[in-house]
Structure 1
Amino acid sequence: MPSEPAAPPPSAPHVVLGAGAIGAATAVLLAERGHPVRVLTRSGSGPDRPGITRTAADGTDAAALRAAFAGAAAVHVCTNPPYHRWSAEWPPLLDAVVRAAADTGTSVVLAGNLYGYGPVDGPMTEDTPPAPTTEKGRVRARMWERLLAEHQAGRLRAAEVRGSDYFGPGGTAASHLGSRFVPPLLAGRTARVIGEPDAPHTWTYLPDFARLMVAVATSDTGWGRPWHVPSAPPAPARRIAAELAELAGLGAPRVAGVPRWQLRLLGAVDPQAGALTEMYYQFDRPFEMDSAATAAAFGLTATPLREALRATLDWWRGPQAPGAGRG
């Protein structure tokens, strides 16, 4: 049986690949906890905070990644290629990460989702067998298969942190409860969501996602398996809108679901929207994720939904939100 790579010293830096909503939240939390952080993006962007260095790098360049991973405790893979190009762009990106991590002894924590399970009746757990029925689901399932194989062979330590559709501070265009939902609601217009607004749905709060990424990366025992992010009980998008409106002191909000046929039409001019069509099953019926294993292993629980929505509302009303200050 191959021996597991040795754990790095506590002072070793963490690398965060990608500076979107999950990557930025993870980098900031790591820095707040005293870990040196290296953020890698194609453009060199990322949170401008003490303890965080930002570097421009091509995520498919294994040599560049090796240099960035040198001496690091873990790499948090939080990047995401354009939604409609996953099949072409994820394989070479993950391959470069794996080769660089194996060469440098860097552990890998992959920020994942629930696509690999496919349609499921009832709550999804980490033991739910993968049965993807979509191309993006197959991409995600193969990614974890590759990392798990590398882990079991002893070439690196790996884990995957899986969340449902995320929301919270920093969750904008890529969040179903982001740019198409909160700003229209606050302006008295119709908030729009994919699918059925009354279907119960698990939503994952971004700070909770970051907390589990950090907990796994700094643990001795969290490797070689997936973990689900602690998330509040399932809530329909219509209930989310009602709670946000109440917190904002507004009247009853208008919420509309975007039907599958409309996504197909949008796909003719917006490939990203069209790529959502195959994932429609997640939004037209109950969609529930169970995170009891994470609570038992790490003692983490979900931020209460109302508290998370209040923080989300405050962020959207603050100066950092997209469009803030425009009159």
Structure 2
Amino acid sequence: MQTILGAGGPVNTALATELKSYTSCVRLVSRNPVKAGSGEQAVKADLLKLKEVLRAVEGSKVVYLTAGLPYKHQIWQKDWPVIMDNVINACEKYEAKLVFFDNVYMYAKQNIPHMTESSSVEPPSKKGKVRAQIAEKLLQRVQSGNLTALIARSADFYGPGCLKNSLLVETVFKPLSKGNKANWLGNADKVHSFTYVPDAAKATALLGNSEAAYGKVWHLPTSSNPPSGKEWVEMIASEMHVKPRYREVPEWMVRIMGWFMPVMKETVEMIYQYDRDYFFDSSKFEVAFGLGPTPYSEGIKRVVEQDFQ
């Protein structure tokens, strides 16, 4: 049995499907779990409570920590260390392998134009400091020999079914589909990588079931020719057969929007990822496993076909 902690979002749904190639039973764990098909087991648990995490992990061969928390740094600072401690302790107790689905918030500003697994960890944001803290905690337990684990990192993501979880879908796909201008954070002349969710799910399942992958950090497969913000708008608009209209949203405007929209208030500290090129290099994974990413044109086509027609 393999277990997903934090089931329910688009990444987790796709991951559950991919894991069925490796195991006869996938356990879906969240506060309100829902089985989507055969070979799945739903378990209700609060990851902030150790007893419930222990019960959720027991009997698992591989555990995938893919939980998402509300986008508020105060919640991240309070809850993420507790969740990571609980999951690590449970995996050690039951000798389960751990796969942590991570983001890129811990990387230094100067590495954003070309991020690799060896990029320096020097987070400039409050949320990034939390991600660096919990990733370091996991790696330290691996180095101590008490835990078998790996980190799978994704860039900002997009894909079918990401109607509430993707910045690209929220700021570009949705407005264009309604005949409005797209909203591009920061500089629309800068390139920006996005990881396609089905690729991330397939690669995460493969990593979790590859002995040689453990003890390392991996970037999930992401196309190596990221478009600029303007090009993203043009490609998406072309697929939707609408005009490629957009506006740039600079930091000062995000700050003003934050007075009325809490999520935008939390986005201000992340603007540095949009005022420069943002290139996510996944060549290490692609060479090791021979699995390449979906081209951006194909990913955009699938999103439009599934969610906007």
TM-score (norm. length: structure 1): 0.88
1:96 aligns with 2:86: yes
1:267 aligns with 2:258: yes
Structure 1 residue 237: deviation in Å? 2.5
Structure 1 residue 32: deviation in Å? 5.4
| Cross-structure match for 2:159 | 168
Is the partner of 1:180 in helix, strand or coil? helix
Answer yes or no: is the 8 Å Cα contact 1:118–1:137 preserved in 2.
no
How many residues get paired?
305
Matches within 5 A, 1:1-12: 12=1
Is the partner of 1:159 in helix, strand or coil? strand
Matches within 5 A, 1:108-257: 108-121=98-111, 122-232=113-223, 233-248=225-240, 250-257=241-248
Distance in 2 (alpha carbons) for counterparts of 1:231 and 1:93: 28
Is the partner of 2:222 in helix, strand or coil? coil
Distance in 1 (alpha carbons) for counterparts of 2:138 and 2:132: 10
Distance in 2 (alpha carbons) for counterparts of 1:18 and 1:29: 14
CA deviations over 1:15-52 (Å, ceiling 9, x no partner):
3433222222211221355541111111224x512222
| Cross-structure match for 1:59 | 47
Is the partner of 2:77 in helix, strand or coil? helix
TM-score (norm. length: structure 2): 0.93
Structure 1 residue 221: deviation in Å? 0.6
Structure 1 residue 110: deviation in Å? 0.8
Of the candidates 38, 41, 48, which is equivalent to residue 36 of structure 2?
Answer: 48
Distance in 1 (alpha carbons) for counterparts of 2:170 and 2:281: 27
Structure 1 residue 274: deviation in Å? 0.8
| Cross-structure match for 1:258 | 249
CA deviations over 1:259-311 (Å, ceiling 9, x no partner):
21222223233322211111101011101111111112111111111111111
Is the partner of 1:102 in helix, strand or coil? helix
Relative distance call for 1:34 and 1:158 in structure 2 (3 A) is closer
| Cross-structure match for 1:21 | 10
Unaligned runs of 5+ residues in structure 1 are 1-11, 319-327
Answer yes or no: is the 8 Å Cα contact 1:31–1:50 preserved in 2.
no
Is the partner of 1:40 in helix, strand or coil? strand
CA RMSD of aligned residues (A): 1.7
| Cross-structure match for 2:62 | 74
CA deviations over 1:68-95 (Å, ceiling 9, x no partner):
2112121111111111121112111111
Q: Bigger CA drift: 31-40 or 301-310?
A: 31-40
Distance in 1 (alpha carbons) for counterparts of 2:176 and 2:21: 32
Distance in 2 (alpha carbons) for counterparts of 1:178 and 1:219: 32
| Cross-structure match for 1:322 | none
CA deviations over 1:86-107 (Å, ceiling 9, x no partner):
1112111111111111111111
Which residue type is aligned with residue 199 of structure 1?
Answer: K
| Cross-structure match for 2:77 | 87
Relative distance call for 1:271 and 1:88 in structure 2 (3 A) is farther
Q: How high is the sequence identity, in percent, across the aligned residues? A: 30
| Cross-structure match for 2:28 | 39
Structure 1 residue 55: deviation in Å? 2.0
CA deviations over 1:154-187 (Å, ceiling 9, x no partner):
2111111111110001212331111332122122
Higher helix share: 2
Q: Bigger CA drift: 96-105 or 184-193?
A: 184-193
Distance in 2 (alpha carbons) for counterparts of 1:293 and 1:117: 17
Distance in 2 (alpha carbons) for counterparts of 1:132 and 1:15: 27
CA deviations over 1:173-211 (Å, ceiling 9, x no partner):
331111332122122111113212221011110011111
Distance in 2 (alpha carbons) for counterparts of 1:33 and 1:99: 25
